[in-house]
Amino acid sequence: MTESRKNIDASLAVVAAETFAAWDTRQRECKEELARSSEEQVADFRRRLTGIVNSSLVAAMTAVGSHSTALLKELVGQEDK
């Protein structure tokens, strides 16, 4: 009976150690995956933000150009009068 109990205790200790090692490995993998995913999301956000800023800059420059052209035409037209 005592020998069986020792064998069971030893088997449980091995299972517990294997389970802990597997859990530790899985936890490390999850942390690495989370870090990688976060980095990808930040990079994607930066790409989208750069696109938005560039589009806004082009729109602003176009508006300024149009306004300047209209203002110049108006000023030239006023000088002729």
- Rounded mean pLDDT for each run of 10 residues along the chain, 81 residues in total: 90 96 97 96 97 97 96 84 57
| Overall residue count recorded for the chain in this entry | 81
Write down the pLDDT at residue 81: 57
- C-alpha 48/C-alpha 45 separation (Å) is 5
Write down the pLDDT at residue 1: 84
The amino acid present at 37, given as its one-letter code, is S
Overall pTM > 0.85: no
